[in-house]
Structure 1
């Protein structure tokens, strides 16, 4: 009877929860959510599914843990010395790039906004909104507006990048779309024809994203 606990301890040391989550992130990046199974994860870790269940109860718990790990790493990259404006831009760009690299993170944040990962992002944004001097109920409104913009644009950007299989050349694709939009009816779509179609081929997704953050921050400051 005394040997069983020691065997359990060795198994736990050999296959930690951190290792499982790290392997799950790799598998999600390679195969997507449908490819994340305990059997596939066990194969990647060179172990049996039972050993994984020792640390993780089910796939949903694993998705939550993987998302938490990616978001925690992203939040940790924003320096404490940053000004509130710089910190909000850093948080925003970190989330943008994390979801671009791990599209499943955006899906998980949308599916479970009450989990720790979303709360981490909201908390960090909220603290910076307070540091900007925003008062009263405007704190919630300002932080919510920033959060909604950051997640909405980040998730859409990641989706846009994966619309075509196999991938197409971005510059060629945007030129094609731009040329098509320039042929739209001038009375029905004047803005699309004259503004969007002209700027679409040369626009930078990250720069436009951060410009939107700056617009929201300018509005917060003005109010």
Structure 2
């Protein structure tokens, strides 16, 4: 059985194609693709729609990318460019890690289609590699060594993804439907009858769901960082 060859837009000998004649630049194409994804989601992106938005034929876009997957790789790397890692040389590693985690969550929520690509598409572009390299540097300077540097990074990103991706899924489920908040709250309260501890939590959460989610994220993040700091101490 012949193994399938792994391909990526970043593994071309010359890298992603660049324009050889006047016209749309790769940067313009990627920016337009991001706008389309933000508006219509991953299912709304097609080379035909993108060509129409750029007032160019879909076939002309294939000069820059071989297929839609390569376009998604380029766009996926753009969201990593919106993430920032502070300088651990001058800022305590916990502050850097906390700011990065909050930043990652906001970027995913701002571009919800990216949640479909996490874990499915390799993050091998220059922006993604820079964030990964800076995060590894942060944990190395914090005192982690060897594979623990990688494990610490995986722990932090897994927490962000695990918290945020279900949030994106719920937001997308309710995006096109206007529920009566009072009716929803009443039904949830009814479902929680007989569970007094749960009932108390339900009432608190429904006072402001967005604030509750932000507080829950911060609570979990602090707990993760506490655990990582404890490992350093031992």
* TM-score computed with the length of structure 1 as normaliser: 0.80
Question: What is the number of equivalent residue pairs in this alignment?
Answer: 207
Deviation at 1:208, TM superposition (A): 1.9
Match of 1:207 among 192, 215, 223: 215
Work out the CA distance in 2 between the residues paired with 1:63 and 1:16: 16
Name the structure where helix makes up a greater proportion of residues. Answer: 1
Instruction: Could you tell me which runs of 5 or more consecutive residues in structure 1 were left unpaired when the two chains were aligned.
Output: 1-7
Equivalent of 2:51 in 31, 34, 42: 42
Question: Given the alignment of the two structures, is residue 71 of structure 1 paired with residue 77 of structure 2, yes or no?
Answer: no
1:141 and 1:171 mapped to 2: Cα distance?
Answer: 41
Contact kept in structure 1, 2:65 and 2:71, CA below 8 Å: yes
Please say if 1:216 is aligned against 2:221. no
Once the two structures are overlaid, the 10-residue window that deviates more, 114-123 or 147-156, is 114-123
In the alignment, the residues of structure 2 paired with residue 107 and residue 173 of structure 1 have an alpha-carbon distance, to the nearest angstrom, of 31
Pair 180,168 (structure 1): closer, same or farther in 2 beyond 3 Å: farther
- Of 19, 32, 40, which residue of structure 2 is paired with 1:23? 32
For residue 157 of structure 1, the aligned residue among 162, 167, 187 is 167
Residue 10 of structure 1 corresponds to 21
> Compared with structure 1, are the counterparts of its residues 54 and 113 closer, same or farther at alpha carbon in structure 2 (3 Å cutoff)?
closer
> Could you tell me how far apart the structure 2 residues matched to 1:163 and 1:174 are?
15
Does the 8 Å contact 1:21/1:66 carry over to 2? yes
1:120–1:178 Cα change, 3 Å: farther
Q: CA deviation at 1:29?
A: 1.1
Q: Identify which range, 33-42 or 114-123, moves more after superposition.
A: 114-123
Identify the range of structure 1 (51-60 vs 165-174) with the bigger mean alpha-carbon deviation: 165-174
Where do 5+ consecutive residues of structure 2 fail to align? 1-18
Contact 1:178 1:198 in 2 (8 A): no
Alignment partner, residue 193 of structure 1: 199
* 1:69 CA drift (Å): 0.7
Q: Which residue of 1 aligns with 2:60?
A: 51
- Secondary structure of the 1:163 match is helix
Q: Point out the more displaced range, 107-116 or 34-43.
A: 107-116
Q: TM-score, normalised by structure 2?
A: 0.76
SS at match of 1:154: helix
**Partners of 1:88 and 1:177 in 2: CA distance:** 39
